[in-house]
Copies of this chain bind each other. A is one copy, B any other.
């Protein structure tokens, strides 16, 4: 498919897509996050082809978002999130919140999240890391940064 390479663009969204933008990758991360760590588990749960699962896992390991851990003194491996990968779960939680709100329909959300700190069923909300006020589409102005191509 001679797919365009997003990683070279001067855009953090495009670069992030280069890491987890391929089909299945976010779902693989989701499964690893909830403790489904082995090849055959992932393959069976997702219904992904073994070939593509191999490719995705290798890519995610190369990008440093997951690690291969040998277990059982045999050629067996478990995949686990690295710190870099664990922070990607933020992305999954936002996708969950949006999907729950806009795509769940009558049935309601398929999965609920209980927040440890307050014990309530809840979802994520975006806040400014600096002042703590809400931060959404209309609340910001984009400016060229130091890594901008146009200098």
Contacts and interface: CB of A to CB of B under 8 A. Distances in A.
Contacts of A98: 12, 16, 87-88, 90-91
Contacts of A111: 11-12, 142-145, 148
Nearest to A116: B139
A73 interface: no
Place the interface of chain A in its size category.
35 or more
B147 A109 contact: yes
Interface string A76-109: 0000010010111111111111111111110111
A44 interface: no
A128 to B, nearest CB: 5
Interface in A1-47: 3-4, 6, 10-17, 19, 21, 23, 26-27, 30, 33-34, 47
A145 B143 CA distance: 41
A50 interface: no
A21 to B, nearest CB: 7
A47 B4 contact: yes
A135 B136 CA distance: 17
The 9 closest A-B pairs by CB, nearest first: A12-B99, A108-B146, A107-B147, A118-B131, A89-B137, A122-B130, A16-B99, A125-B129, A117-B133
Interface of A: 3-4, 6, 10-17, 19, 21, 23, 26-27, 30, 33-34, 47-48, 81, 84, 86-105, 107-118, 120-131, 133-149
